[in-house]
Amino acid sequence: MRTKMAREFMSLRLLASLVVLALTGCAAPAATLLSPAVSGAPAVADFLGGDVSESFWAARQNDVVVAARRAGSAFELERERDEENAERVLLVFRDETGAQIRLRIELRTPVLTFIRFTGPAGLTRLMTRQIVDELNGVDAFLLDWTDGQGIVGR
């Protein structure tokens, strides 16, 4: 299992890579918002352009929804909408300037959850990282990618 210091080192290394890519004008690899190499979390997200990104999480939908609600609370975002139906959960948060972030959370399989983020890219990145932290805090990921040996099912 990686130590906190190792994860921080990986985050700094990624940040340095993103800065180099931004300075050289190559943005395609920088479009990935989250990867196992950064967080050790079994989740991936890609920036689709504009203010939209999509992600897949190896966690139960209910756990992801609870983590997303907690992430919004962690940043003291106002929850404008919280709607659930058989197909999806829609969460809409707003900051004090009126900027919104929408999360459409869908069940894809009992162990795979999809989130479409619509909102500012920076806020999306923060929410993604906080959701990972929330899920890690309750051991909700159903796979472990931190052992260096590949995917290990729980």
Q: Supply angle C-alpha 15, 139, 135, rounded to 5.
A: 50
Residue-by-residue DSSP string for 41-66: -SEEEEEEETTEEEEEESB-HHHHHH
How high is the pLDDT of residue 147?
61
The overall longest dimension of the chain from CA atoms, in Å, is 45
- Cα–Cα dist 67/13, whole Å: 27
Query: Could you tell me which residue, 49 or 103, shows the higher pLDDT?
Result: 103
State percent of the chain over pLDDT 90. 54
Q: One-letter amino acid identity for 119?
A: G
How high is the pLDDT of residue 40?
63
8 Å CB contact between 45 and 32: yes
57-95 pLDDT, tens digit per residue, is 999 999 999 999 999 999 999 999 999 998 899 999 999
The answer to whether the pTM exceeds 0.75 is: no
Mean pLDDT along residues 35-41: 50
97-137 pLDDT, tens digit per residue, is 999 999 999 999 999 999 999 999 989 999 999 999 999 99
How high is the pLDDT of residue 63?
96
Mean pLDDT along residues 147-154: 47
Using alpha carbons, list the distances in angstroms from residue 141 to 66, 79, 80. Answer: 13, 25, 27
- Cα–Cα dist 83/78, whole Å: 15
- What is the CATH code of the structural domain delimited by 4-153? 3.30.160.110
Listed by start position, the domains of the chain span 4-153
A 10 A CB-CB count for 36 gives: 14
4-13 pLDDT, tens digit per residue, is 544 554 444 4
